[in-house]
A and B are shown apart, each in its own frame.
Chain A
């Protein structure tokens, strides 16, 4: 079994082309500086995995990336300095890239947020419509504007 298959989902979806040596180093050794359940990623960034659905009124903030194995219901919010990935239906509010990190992205199996924020950009669905998604999508800042594209699993 090669090292890359043990890296956490966030890495394999968004940054496959990147060098994963950092990740395997942490897993092989015992890094007491990194708390249990958190895997250090590239450039010292942490990623946390939430294996549950977030319900209305629940707010989650993390300094790093966030991966949710579940839904984010309307009325729930996730805020992160890094990227946010929802392996489920994203219907709530997300704010990725807090701290002016415009390279942060938001991805979901179904991207239908009430509001989507990346760094200083705030977006919502066009007037009168809702985000309507049939396939996984990813939102990122391109040329100063938040754009949403189909997410192709397995690379950029």
Chain B
């Protein structure tokens, strides 16, 4: 019996899809059976980011509409043994699926997979409600910007109201140099407001854009710092205690952060 994790943020463009693709790939590389579900119906991106768009025949709306079996819609990523994608539809919109249908779908998927990771759309309306319907755990992605943190706080409040307690935080696109110069919110500032457990911090990395355009994930690139961060996050999801990456940050902070993650 696997677990269903929704990755959400409120704010658009902070890196939910990138996070889903990378931690999904990271977990598959650790020999788990993973299915990534794109719940952003109408604006699907997960397939593009994974380089699987030209293999889509059926999508999630075909499954919930009864036009095909779940098996037929799942796309196996040839690069990894246990990695599958359930794509969204591009020609419909978020009203095409109901929360109950998502709940049933996630229940069916967790029978077969170790991890079911749902990529939520931005916003707080129907799309978001669909995405969280079947989830047991949540990861909130935020960038170190006021607007992102504001939206993430709203999302945490909504998750708590839906009994999705204890969401974990991924801070994406951090630029340590800007934080040192006082031009960017630091990790402590973000946690001060959101007050949820930190799962990991991903530094800003050009490689993300380059790899996305190629339909590849940074988590597979040895020399990518963001890839290293995602690899660490994947390991933490499995329960392993992984020390915080050296972000070129400040010593004292790293020590404090270790405490926040629960090590040392």
Counting CB contacts under 8 A, is B153 at the interface? yes
In the complex, how many angstroms separate the beta carbon of A135 from the nearest chain B beta carbon? 18
In the complex, how many angstroms separate the beta carbon of B160 from the nearest chain A beta carbon? 8
Contact with B156, one of A55, A89, A91 (Cβ below 8 angstroms): A55
Question: A71 contacts which chain B residues (CB < 8 A)?
Answer: 193, 195
Q: How many residues of A contact B (CB 8 A)?
A: 11
B150 A56 Cβ-Cβ under 8 A:
yes
Q: Using C-beta atoms within 8 Å of the partner chain, give the interface range for chain B.
A: 10 to 19
B154 A57 Cβ-Cβ under 8 A:
yes
- Cα of A55 to Cα of B195 in the assembled complex, Å: 10
Question: B151 contacts which chain A residues (CB < 8 A)?
Answer: 56
- Cα of A71 to Cα of B153 in the assembled complex, Å: 12
Counting CB contacts under 8 A, is B157 at the interface? yes
- Cα of A19 to Cα of B153 in the assembled complex, Å: 41
B157 A57 Cβ-Cβ under 8 A:
yes
Contact with B157, one of A58, A74, A91 (Cβ below 8 angstroms): A58
| B 145-174 binary contact with A (CB < 8 Å = 1; else 0) | 000001101101110100000000000000
Q: Enumerate A54-109 residues with CB–CB distance to B below 8 Å.
A: 55-58, 71, 73-75, 89, 91
In the complex, how many angstroms separate the beta carbon of A129 from the nearest chain B beta carbon? 16
In the complex, how many angstroms separate the beta carbon of A113 from the nearest chain B beta carbon? 14
In the complex, how many angstroms separate the beta carbon of A36 from the nearest chain B beta carbon? 22
In the complex, how many angstroms separate the beta carbon of B44 from the nearest chain A beta carbon? 27
Counting CB contacts under 8 A, is A53 at the interface? yes
- Cα of A56 to Cα of B11 in the assembled complex, Å: 13
Question: A58 contacts which chain B residues (CB < 8 A)?
Answer: 157
Residue with the highest number of chain A CB atoms closer than 10 Å, among B150, B153, B156 = B153
In the complex, how many angstroms separate the beta carbon of A132 from the nearest chain B beta carbon? 14
Contact with B154, one of A53, A55, A89, A91 (Cβ below 8 angstroms): A55
Q: Which residue of B lies closest to A74 (CB)?
A: B150
Question: B154 contacts which chain A residues (CB < 8 A)?
Answer: 55-57, 75
Interchain residue pairs with CB less than 8 A apart (6): A55-B157, A56-B150, A57-B124, A74-B150, A74-B153, A89-B192
Give the interface of A toward B (CB within 8 A).
53, 55-58, 71, 73-75, 89, 91
The 3 closest A-B pairs by CB, nearest first: A55-B157, A56-B153, A57-B154
